[in-house]
Amino acid sequence: MQRAANRAVKTGLRELDKRQGYRGPLGKYEEPAEASEITVSSLVAGDILEGHVTQISDKEGYALVEAGGSPGRC
């Protein structure tokens, strides 16, 4: 029952975020003293991570994002 409640809260928060859209940066990025590692196997589709955008290409339609010391393209 608790799992169902957690899923409902996550779903509700995602729907709210989609309706309200981007609300600005969470803060100013500062290089951490020690980077935490995120392994691809630990990620699940739909996970939300805190990261920062390192590059944007309007021409090619992508953004490079770094989260937990691991870069990715979205």
The predicted-structure confidence for 6-36, as pLDDT tens digits, reads as follows: 889 888 888 888 888 777 777 776 666 665 5
Whether pLDDT at 65 is above 60: yes
Does 61 have pLDDT greater than 60? yes
Predicted structure pTM score: 0.40
CB 56 within 8 A of CB 74: no
39-55: pLDDT as tens digits: 556 667 777 777 778 88
